[in-house]
Structure 1
């Protein structure tokens, strides 16, 4: 007896992917609550405190120099090759491509542009805020330090805060921000925190950043994630505008086909053209029969020289009289009908 195979988990996943994409009825959009505002203000105060401690060359700068002289990449050289690849998780190009691919698939499945627009808004804020801070403070990195014990500020560098760390916080944290369920948000928040923490410490291990750069990068990325609900109304308006533009572009070819002929400017010609429009529309509505193509003229036949008579003057081809052969039992056509058949019963 043949039994049906029970669907596995992989079969259910493929069956779900084959379904028609549907827009969720309720998409959870984070709002700017009091708890989020308080956390934003606390993170901003921490950010300014780190900057102040570096500017006044406090104990944080001395800690930076101690970690740099410790040279972690010489203490644990066996993990150097792995961390060279792991730090790519903080580079803006590769991480943006990976996250954009996932969010693009979600946008297609849910018929909404919010995931991609949110990622674009977060990366725009990241480039503006972190880029402006880097160029404004101009701090040199450990490999280009000039004076031992100094903060290396205002010397034309672009190392403070750490761009790798801030990018890791924002790029991977946006997945937790856009999660559809609380459980997924908790798990993705933990994963993004571990990844961004590891990327920041990896830059310190490789000697490309001071420890204070990494701490400030964590704060800069967290500020962007906390401020994203303020961008949600702008993201919603941008989504509506993009969909409206798409609908207009779709309707343009149909309007171009259904557009009537231009009306001439002369009054008499305009009256004649307007009178011809209904007739033309009726003609287009009726189904025309296919017209056979015109005959190709034949080449003239070759005639022998000499006098030629018309067809009526020619000798008829068919001979005169009947074509049937004569039979002895048949009577001539003019004989009487009574003589052709004897009467029965007499």
Structure 2
């Protein structure tokens, strides 16, 4: 009696993934077009201009000090509780978990790892670029300022550019970057812009960042989103490598569990007829005129021969060819005719 094998949870997961399409046909991967390249270069120039304006203690630094002396958290104290919760939308841990959960569900439905890999690449670029700028310039925050009117650069701080603002731009902007349709991309771009703008102003309200920190954080996050198409080939290769590893380990798991792939159906045997001499490519042997075409019948040895009826009956036991009484011994037979 044959019983069906009970499927495990891992089998159900693989079966669900195999039912989904490999990649939706209507989703196109963004490319680094000329328009995007020009926009990236302009944003990078604006980034350098903001840093230079802070280094030379220009009007931007004086604006930072005016906002700090205004103390928004005292002017609108009733908003303090709401802003404390709203600024969490710019923290790297909670936002990364929420966005990764959504992109993980999309990866499950579309059978592609591109959303999760794009998020990982963007967060890696964010940590490298913004972290290097923070500790490289070492600017102190408003609560730790030492000299009124100074830029507070290279004093061991880590607030320039604003990490909350840059993280909000990248984390919520990646949803617009990975959108399936142009209309969805426009809506998500507007939502991510408003969210990141609110996060940046919340840090200014709480007094944890200068206004120039927030401005540079917006630009730093936008640079990462504009540079993502350059990393699309790397994301595609990483996705192929991961799926290859998955198939390899799944085959090993199947082999360990004793499951064998179904064999291909065997075709019906083909009956072949023997080839004749002409079909096999062998030339027929020529027949000479001196000898006949057919071989003459063989002649028996001279001597008395008994008919079939006169022979002794064959015994049921014994050898297959018992000797006959009428047969002469081998040595006493006369010579055959030439």
Q: TM-score, normalised by structure 2?
A: 0.70
Distance in structure 2 (CA, Å) of the matches to 1:68 and 1:257: 67
Mapped partners of 1:253, 1:80: distance in 2: 55
Instruction: Find the counterpart in structure 2 of residue 289 from structure 1.
Output: none
2:213 counterpart residue number: 213
**1: CA distance between counterparts of 2:205 and 2:254?**
62
1:24: how far off? 1.2
- Look up the match of 1:169: 169
Indicate the residue corresponding to 1:278 in structure 2: none
Alignment-derived partner of residue 223 in structure 1: 223
- 2:124 — aligned with what? 124
User: What is the alpha-carbon distance in structure 1 between the residues aligned to residue 158 and residue 122 of structure 2?
Assistant: 21
Indicate the residue corresponding to 1:188 in structure 2: 188
8 Å contact kept, 2:165–2:214: yes
Distance 1:110 1:76 in 2: 46
Matches within 5 A, 1:172-321: 172-256=172-256
Alignment: residue pair count: 240
1:149 CA drift (Å): 0.4
In the other structure, the counterpart of 2:144 is 144
Classify the secondary structure of the residue corresponding to 1:250: helix
> Alpha-carbon deviation of 1:214?
0.2
8 Å contact from structure 2 (residues 170, 224) kept in 1: yes
Partner of 1:82: 82
What are structure 1's unaligned runs of at least 5 residues?
A: 1-19, 260-346
Structure 2 distance, partners of 1:30, 1:225, is 11
Structure 2 unmatched ranges of 5 or more: 1-18, 260-338
Partner of 1:265: none
Q: Which segments of structure 1 move beyond 6 Å, counting only runs of 4 or more?
A: none
Match of 2:96 in 1: 96
Corresponding residue SS for 1:117: helix
- TM-fit CA distance, 1:255: 4.0
Are 2:27 and 2:181, in contact at CA under 8 Å, matched by a contact in 1? no
Instruction: Using structure 1 for the length normalisation, give the TM-score.
Output: 0.68
**2:27 matched residue in structure 1:** 27
Equivalent residues of 2:166, 2:221 under 8 A apart: yes
Superimposed CA distance per residue, residues 118-146 of structure 1 (whole angstroms, 9 cap, x where no aligned partner): 00000000000000000000000000000
Whole-Å Cα distance in 2 between the matches of residues 81 and 253 of structure 1? 53
- 1:129 is paired with a residue whose SS is helix
Shift, 1:114, TM fit: 0.2
Rounded Cα–Cα distance in structure 2 between residues aligned with 1:48 and 1:210? 17
State the match for 2:71 in structure 1.
71
Deviation of the 1:150 alpha carbon: 0.4
